Every structure is written in C-alpha cells, then in structure tokens.
Amino acid sequence: MTTHTMRRPAIQLTITVFALLTAASATSQTPSSFSRSDLTAAQALLQRAQSDSTAYQLAESLTTEVGPRFSGTLGDRAAVAWAQEQMRRLGFENVHTQEVDVPQWVRGEAEFAVLEPWPQPMPSLALGGTVGTPNAGVEAEAVMVKDLAALQALPAGAVKGRIVFFNNPIERRRDWAEYSRAVSVRGGGPTAASALGAVGVVIRSLSTSSQRFPHTGGSRQPQDVPRIPALAISNPDADALQRQFASGRTVRLRIKSTARELPKQRSANVIGEIPGTDLAHEIVILGAHLDSWDVTVGAIDNAAGVGIVLTAAHLIQAQKLKPRRTLRVVLFANEENGSAGSRAYAAAQEQNLANHVLGIEADYGAGPVWQFSTRVNPADVGVIDQMYRVLRPLKMDRGTNEAPGNADLSPLVAKGMPILGPELDGTYYLDVHHTANDTMAQIDPAAIRQSAATFAVGVWLGAQYPGKWQRLPPKPPRP
Ligand SMILES: [Zn+2]
C-alpha cells in the first residue's frame, strides 16, 4: 500500500447519486439472487478453503525464494518469473506478462544525527524517490511541525534554509483511517517543505510500533519543485527528538543520503485467468501488487495479498467449479514507488473497461477480514447481503458500502467498476509496514486462510451473479 490510496468520496455526494441510481433502477430491474446450487457450491468452497494453506505457502515461497523485489531490481525480475510459474502450477490459463517501464530508484546509505542541543545518531531510511545530499551531508537548524497544515501556517521564511521535522504520530486502529490521514505527510511533506525553501526533511515514520525500525515509503516528486533529501526515523527516535525540541533550545540536525535515480528499467504485470463459460467476456478482476520495498521481503506487504488472490482463484478451479464470468488475477508491478503497473493495465484495457464488471484487491496484510465492505451500486446491495450470509461463519461484520479500495484497481474504480472490499484487520499492520521487520513471522496462518476463504467465496459468487453488476458513477477525482 502506498501514498495515493484510500480516500473516501464526499459522503453526501455519494448518497445523493446513489439515491438517484436506486430510484432509476428500481423500476427497470427486478432484484436477483444466487441460485441454490451456486450457494451450495460457495459453502463447499468455504469449507475447503478453511483447511487449505496455499495462501500461506505462496507467501512463504515468494519471501524465501525471491525475497526483496523492489521494482526495477533483479529481485523484481525474479518475482515476475516466479508469479508466472506459480500461476501455471496452480492451473491458471492465458498466463502472460504485460511489460511496464518502472523507475529505478537506488536508496544508497542514509545517516541521520542530532547535532544540538544533545548530539546522537539515529537509524533512518530515505523516503522513496528522494535525492541524496552532497558527500558532506546537510547540516541545518530544524523546525518541528505536526503536518502539512501546520507547515503552511508558519510565518513566511520560517523554514528557509532549514530542515523540517514532521512529527505526526498515528494511533493503532483496525481500519486504515489513521494511515489515510497521515500519509499526506510522507507523500507531500518533502515537496511542501522544499517549496518553502527547506533544505531537508525528516519525518516520524507512519508507524504504530515502539521498536527502533524506521519505515520507508513513497514520496511524490513533482518536476516543478526542487527535490530535497528526506528521511524517516522510528517512533522512539521521533519521541527523543521531540524531547530535544521541548527543551526550547535550538535544534540542529545532520542528514546524509546517497539516494539517487537511475534510468528506467523494465518490469511487468503478471496476468492469469480462470476462463468463464457463458459470460466469459465479463471479467471479475483480482488484484495484488507483486513488488515490495527494497529493505524488506515484504511478507504482509504484499506477499500475503499475492497469496490471497492466487489462492482464491485457484480454489475455485480446484473445486472443479466453472465460473460464468472470467476470473482474472493481475499481479501488478511497481505499486510501491509509482504505480506504473496499475496505470499501464488501465491504459491497455481502455476499450475493455466496461467488461471489468467487478473487482477485488488484497493489499492490507494477511487478515483476518473483520468486515465485508463493498462499493457496489445500491441496486446490487441485496446480493451482497446474500454473500455475507455465506461468509458469516468466518466471523466478520457486514461492513459498509463505502469500501475505500486499494491503489492498483483505483483507475478502474474511478471509471465506475464496483468492488468487493473485504477489510483486513490492520491492528498490527503499521507496526512493520515498509520496514525490514516485515517478514513471515508477522503472518498468522489462520488469518491468511480466513482471508483467502473470504476472497474465494466473494469472487465465486461475484462470477455467478445472475443479474448484471451495475456500474457506479465515476469516483470523484482525488484531491
Ligand atoms: Zn502494499
């Protein structure tokens, strides 16, 4: 999961448009429900999925046999080969790649230290896309602010020639509201500070952990603002730095980074299908990103998601079920530092977008799913209730019809594709997200099994729906 995910549409607008659509469709469409045999098959699928460990094994294989797979690296290339091999082994058809140009950003080494009032070094990681410093590093007086609004509220010239410390703690939550709120600091902080004349940025990691791991992550780097070096430090170090500021004395910091951008590299989206029968031209798309950050094997982000979507489609096949609509799994390239894979897929499918009738994406850890949210046309909410009744033994809440969705399917959602948006429990997700500590030790086999079961049942019934999945109004553009 990266910067530009998860903004909720203006609720009032959504309600108004939904109300209009509901009124229009009430006259033109009788409610549809699943056939008894499709529901029976869904229950059998759920039973099987509950004792199947394929998703966990896939995550284990990807993190062990490939490891870190930052886009544009050799690990990324190995991941693309791995994904095709697994799809073939699991019985997918039409397995192929879609080539994508991706940035080649190299982290290099980072150093961070407080110089005054009380000197000490702290572990740090550069934010993705940022530039390095001169060899001698950058030393400057520092200004502490909470977030972008606080930065903008400073008097003119307050950060000119200085290093800005964004100190914006987040709270532990099951949903991703806190991440959603705070991610603007990581994504937009360096640019905003640079525009005001700052020479460097350090941020408190988007983290709920008290361990001394800094969290990296993407940062927007528009062409029209000079790039400045930007690093993240861990929560306990941000606390310590905050205490130095609290002394009221001048705080001076030193940043050194050898991060740099090299020419673009090739990567690829990996695509495989379980072909449909009488509605084969309609696609139910399952998405997850294949890449990871460079500092991690990316178990929860996102080997877990890869395992979940591959397993969901595989189990339907393994049960000898023949979906009416085509199930298409897309493992996207470069989600973490650019989303080039997502954009390339949407561009290549531009003439075929209307045939993408339903989507589901896994990019928030290994689960379990705690509520079965969706973003479907209100005309179709009744069948979601039916789906939920099948899923209820997996112990989740019904959820809302305002699922935020994840990054890679967002271009399709923007064009009105409905989604199933099962919400995975993020209580501990932001303890390790984008850190060297994101390993298989963070995945609970029972949790990922429950998630894969949820996806399998949702996708099976989504493919069988006897009605027509109604599209949504285009999602308002992100601010
Ligand atoms: Zn992710």
Q: Where residue 25 falls among pLDDT bands split at 50, 70, 90?
A: very low
Contacts of residue 389, defined as CB under 8 A and 6 or more positions apart, other chains included, come to: none
Kindly tell me if the per-residue pLDDT of 6 is higher than 90.
no
Å from CA of 292 to ligand 1 middle:
7
Q: What is the pLDDT of residues 201-211, one digit of tens each?
A: 999 999 999 99
SS3 473: coil
Q: How far is the CA of 49 from the centre of ligand 1 (A)?
A: 24
> Is the Cβ–Cβ distance between 297 and 436 less than 8 Å?
no
Give the count of beta carbons closer than 10 Å to the beta carbon of residue 338: 24
Q: Are strands 279-289 and 356-361 parallel, antiparallel or unpaired?
A: parallel
- Compute, in angstroms, the gap from residue 245 CA to the centroid of ligand 1: 34
Average pLDDT over residues 462-475: 93
Looking at 333-468, which runs of residues are DSSP E strands?
356-361, 369-375, 419-424
Which alpha helices (H) appear in 90-176, and where do they start and end? 148-152
> What is the whole-number distance in angstroms between the Cα of residue 340 and the centre of ligand 1?
14
Residue 1 CA, ligand 1 centroid: distance in Å: 3
Give the separation between CA 424 and CA 132, rounded to whole angstroms: 36
| Mean pLDDT along residues 408-415 | 96
> How far, in Å, CA of 172 to CA of 431, rounded?
9
Q: Separation of 149 CA from ligand 1 center, angstroms?
A: 27
**What does the domain layout of the chain look like in residue ranges?**
11-104+264-464, 108-258
Ligand 1 mean position to 158 CA, how many Å? 35
pTM of the model: 0.92
Distance 365 CA to ligand 1 centre (A): 8
Distance (angstroms) between ligand 1 centre and the Cα of 307 equals 13
Q: Considering the chain, what is the average pLDDT of its residues?
A: 93
Q: Which residue is associated with the tokens 């923007």? A: 414
Q: What's the CA gap between 208 and 181, in Å, rounded?
A: 14
Work out the pLDDT band at 10, boundaries 50, 70, 90.
very low
**CB-CB contact of 203 with 186 (8 Å):** yes
Instruction: Domain 11-104+264-464: give its CATH architecture.
Output: 3-Layer(aba) Sandwich (3.40)
Dist CA 271 CA 291 (whole Å): 14
- Give distance in angstroms: CA of 363 to centre of ligand 1: 5
Q: How far does residue 460's CA lie from ligand 1's centre (Å)? A: 24
Distance 237 CA to ligand 1 centre (A): 25
Instruction: Quickly state the pLDDT bin for 16 (edges 50, 70, 90).
Output: very low
Say which range, 16-25, 69-78, 184-193, 225-234, has the weakest mean pLDDT: 16-25
Q: Which helix (H) or strand (E) holds 262?
A: strand 260-274
Interval between CA 171 and ligand 1 midpoint (Å): 20
* pLDDT at residue 474, as a whole number: 81
Average pLDDT of 292-313? Answer: 98
Residue 123 corresponds to which tokens in the numbers above? 């572990």
Structure tokens at 466: 């006897």
With tokens 């009488």, the residue in question is 278
pLDDT of residue 477: 52
At the top level of CATH, which class does the domain 108-258 belong to? alpha beta
Instruction: Name the residue among 113, 78, 33, 149 with its Cα closest to residue 390.
Output: 33
What is the number of residues in the chain? 479
Least confident of 81-90, 97-106, 217-226: 217-226
